[in-house]
A and B are shown apart, each in its own frame.
Chain A
Amino acid sequence: MRKVSAAVSLFVFWVLLSGYFTPFLLTAGALSAIAVVAVARRLEVVDPEGHPVDFSGSALRYWPWLGVEIVKSAWDVSKIIVHPKLPISPALVRVKNTQVSALGRVVYANSITLTPGTVTIVAGRDEFLVHALTRAGAESLAEGDMDRRVTRFEGAQ
């Protein structure tokens, strides 16, 4: 099932990038998609990490929330940058994470980094070292709202 879904995704990707709908090119695209999946299967990378299609549903719920968070914190960082006094209070904090899978930890670490004002420096097993531009940013991260949402994301397959 995962192989079929990977092949279909690759074929759609091919069509979107090519933009030609002649029978020859569509056939070539389908054959290429199948060949790539065949090679990937031999490499044993068509797994929940290589093609995480199971997470599509929870991603659709998590990404909009993450998008809003990104816009909010990007706005905050922009205000700090244009502020004449540059009111930063950089902090290094250790943040607990409750994810059980490597994929979940990657999603959480990447979410922290993607939100302006916080960067994951070291991603450990159950603790991240995070650099925050302001103390307030570090504190809101320590409240663990994002952590809970990512854990729900990885659990709700």
Chain B
Amino acid sequence: MTPVEILAMVLLALGGLFCVIGAVGLLRMPDFYTRMHAASVIETLGAGLVIAGLMLLAGLTLATAKLAILGLLIFFASPTATHALAKAAHERGIVPVLEGDASGDEK
């Protein structure tokens, strides 16, 4: 394996690790809003590192350009989707668990 390939593997593994951390957070967090924070680890560090690793593997090809476009798409679309979810939840009257509330009350 060339050094670039090894670096790519490291980035892919780290990206996968952060995806798993985000998924664990999604399960551990107490309410809707805090779970969204866990999910944003997946779409930023998780997806970002995986895309960076794949770009290194693809080298200077059109596939790399497409991966960059994919990264930009996630960069613009994911906060919009997250905001839409948060606002919908807020307007439906989902009250966030705040600091000081007894943790574990809300399921």
Contact = CB atoms under 8 A, between A and B. Distances in A.
A121 interface: yes
Contacts of B18: 74, 78
Contact of A123 (B21, B38, B83): B83
Given A90-B97, A90-B99, A16 B44 contact: no
Interface residues of B, number: 37
A122 B30 CA distance: 21
B87 A17 contact: no
Given A90-B34, A131-B33, A81 B87 contact: no
A107 B102 CA distance: 35
B37 A133 contact: yes
Contact of A81 (B24, B31, B75, B96): B24
A113 interface: yes
Main SS of the interface on chain B? helix
A70 B44 contact: yes
A17 B65 CA distance: 8
B18 to A, nearest CB: 6
Contact of A109 (B37, B48, B65, B83): B83
A82 B24 contact: yes
Most buried by B among A16, A80, A86, A116: A116
Contacts of B62: 16, 19
Given A90-B99, A113-B79, A131-B86, A119 B45 contact: no
A74 B44 contact: yes
A41 to B, nearest CB: 23
A120 interface: yes
Contacts of B21: 78, 81-82
A91 to B, nearest CB: 6
Interface of B: 18, 21-22, 24-25, 28-31, 33-34, 36-38, 40-41, 44-45, 48, 62, 65-66, 69, 75-76, 78-80, 82-83, 86-87, 90, 96-99
Interface of A: 13, 16-17, 19, 70-71, 74-75, 77-78, 80-82, 86, 88-92, 109-111, 113-123, 129, 131, 133, 135
